[in-house]
């Protein structure tokens, strides 16, 4: 099975339209990529909701143990988990009505991506928002 990411225009829309984004695997450690990307998404106007069952707060925000426990739901689920742990996160994202799955650079699960697409979600896989902001020439917010 092969997988193709959405066209650049769709990625541009995802990154430039403010959304409520669950960052699954968000770390409180500023040296971790998940922390950096959560910070970047906040700077770019997104409402970031950290998800990590082992901590209470990240970036001065309440951290939730899973997607189902987030009050009000989310638009996008940004996954910072090893590929072998993606499938249940995607199933949970489908169950809560998320509209977008973003699997970070190096995170690949084609079967889970296809399940999400079949359920009507937009899926981005094996890409990093920071790299995509630069590649697509998206300016910083004022």
Q: Rounded to two decimals, what is the model's pTM?
A: 0.95
pLDDT at 141: 64
pLDDT in single tens digits along all 142 residues of the chain: 678 999 999 999 999 999 999 999 999 999 999 999 999 999 999 999 999 999 999 999 999 999 999 999 999 999 999 999 999 999 999 999 999 999 999 999 999 999 999 999 999 999 999 999 999 999 876 5
Domain containing 38 — which CATH number?
A: 3.40.50.720
What is the DSSP annotation of 30-50?
TTSHHHHHHHHHHHTT-EEEE
pLDDT of residue 140: 78
Nearest alpha carbon to residue 127 among 4, 29, 36: 4
Could you tell me the residue range of the domain that residue 55 belongs to?
8-135
- Number of domains comprising the chain: 1
Q: Give phi and psi for 37, each to the nearest 5.
A: -70, -40
CA distances from 104 to 67, 82, 131 (A): 17, 10, 11
């Amino acid at each position: 099975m092969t997988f193709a990411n959405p066209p650049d225009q769709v990625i541009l829309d995802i990154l430039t339209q403010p959304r409520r984004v669950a960052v699954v695997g968000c770390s409180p450690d500023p040296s971790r990529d998940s922390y950096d990307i959560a910070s970047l998404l906040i700077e770019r106007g997104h409402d970031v909701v950290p998800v990590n069952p082992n901590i209470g707060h990240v970036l001065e925000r309440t951290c939730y143990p899973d997607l189902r426990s987030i009050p009000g739901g989310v638009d996008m689920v940004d996954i910072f988990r090893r590929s072998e742990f993606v499938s249940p996160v995607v199933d949970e994202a489908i169950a809560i009505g998320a509209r977008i799955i973003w699997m970070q650079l190096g995170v690949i699960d084609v079967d889970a991506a296809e399940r999400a697409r079949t359920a009507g979600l937009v899926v981005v896989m094996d890409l990093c928002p920071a790299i995509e902001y630069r590649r697509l020439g998206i300016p910083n917010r004022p």
